[in-house]
Amino acid sequence: MGRRNNTNVPDFILTGLSDSEEVRIALFMLFLLIYLITMLGNLGMILVIHLDLQLHTPMYFFLTHLSFIDLSYSTVITPKTLANLLTSNSISFMGCFAQMFFFVFLGAAECFLLSSVAYDRYVAICSPLHYPVIMSKSLCLALLTGPYVIGFMDSFVNVIWMSRLHFCDSNVVHHFFCDTSPILALSCTDTYDIEIMICILAGSTLMVSLITMSASYVCILSTILKINSTSGKQKAFSTCTSHLLGVTIFYGTMIFTYLKPRKSYSLGRDQVASVFYTIVIPMLNPLIYSLRNKEVKNAVIRVMQRRQDSGN
């Protein structure tokens, strides 16, 4: 069969998560509920941090953008997934690659933003007296801009290489969104070089950000162990538990999904992991950082009290 250029592919068909109408309706209701909670949780975090002056610190500056990324990350995937559960499963060629671009961009940016949060916690615990000087406005902007720039470059290179693929026999994507592995599986050309490039990009993004965070937390743990009082140790460690929990969940599913060869791709297993990190984790992050954080709880109370006072 002659090779057909990829630009002639009018659209892709996403197989989704199930062929059963009952299951699709149930998943629609579940994902809709999760998306609404994600919207409310992340927008709520952004609003509370904006309204409460006591949260205008570097840590919450980064958490504001983490909520923004989670909100955007979920919006890139979930609305289209909801639409596909009820109507047509098609997505245009350009729409597919646009979804892939923003998915990779936001995912990579979140990896390095989590590293920025870890560094902020390292400075706060290991050098508390110098914290205001070290975490200056210019450094905070650099630690914020870096993740976005790296994420953009990572995504740009990824999509440029993926756009060189040719699709000859099928346009059916065995997934519920346009991810790299199922798109690669459709190609009728040799994808070895592209797979190596994607593996290097994904691996370097995950490993560099993970090593950075690990180094920060090794120093944090060393400092905490030197604290004499038990209450002091608990107070110091409590400032990191929310971030550690969020990092563990996020990196666990990402490493499981992406740091492996294409031959080990499993539709069912990988789709479950993909649902978790694309739809569920953006909902969990604001809950983790709010329910386990006394400062956020107190800020919510202060904001509500001010609104009541202004209303009276």
64 CB neighbour count, 10 Å cutoff: 20
For residue 36, pLDDT beyond 60: yes
In a domain, 211, yes or no: yes
Query: For residue 73, what are the CA distances in angstroms to 65, 70, 141, 193?
Result: 12, 5, 21, 28
For residue 214, pLDDT beyond 50: yes
State residue 184's pLDDT score. Answer: 86
Residues 235-280 pLDDT 10s:
777 777 777 877 888 887 777 766 655 555 555 566 777 888 888 8
> Which of 123-137, 198-212, 249-263 has the weakest average pLDDT?
249-263
Mean pLDDT of 121-144: 93
Q: What is the CA radius of gyration of the chain?
A: 21
Mean pLDDT of 16-39: 91
State residue 251's pLDDT score. Answer: 80
State residue 4's pLDDT score. Answer: 44
In a domain, 306, yes or no: no
In a domain, 98, yes or no: yes
Residue 192 or residue 4, greater confidence: 192
Q: How many domains does the chain have?
A: 1
In a domain, 262, yes or no: yes
Write down the pTM of the prediction.
0.88
Instruction: Please tell me the distance from the alpha carbon of residue 59 to that of residue 248, in angstroms, as a whole number.
Output: 19
Q: Which amino acid is at 261?
A: P
State residue 5's pLDDT score. Answer: 45
**Best-predicted range by mean pLDDT (99-103, 207-211, 259-263):** 99-103
The answer to whether residues 44 and 70 touch, using CB atoms and an 8 Å cutoff, is no
Q: 51: closest CA among 283, 286, 309, 306?
A: 306
State residue 144's pLDDT score. Answer: 96
CATH code, domain carrying 287: 1.20.1070.10
Residues 171-192 pLDDT 10s:
888 888 998 888 888 888 788 8
**Best-predicted range by mean pLDDT (66-75, 282-291, 293-302):** 66-75
In a domain, 305, yes or no: no
Residues 148-173 pLDDT 10s:
999 999 999 999 988 888 887 778 88
State residue 268's pLDDT score. Answer: 59
In a domain, 4, yes or no: no
- The mean of the pLDDT values for the chain is 84
Query: For residue 117, what are the CA distances in angstroms to 32, 59, 111, 144, 176?
Result: 30, 6, 10, 10, 31
90-92, strands of its sheet edge to edge: 90-92, 11-14, 172-173
Which range marks the domain in which residue 34 is found? 12-296
Residue 239 or residue 89, greater confidence: 89
State residue 2's pLDDT score. Answer: 41
In a domain, 303, yes or no: no
For residue 234, pLDDT beyond 50: yes
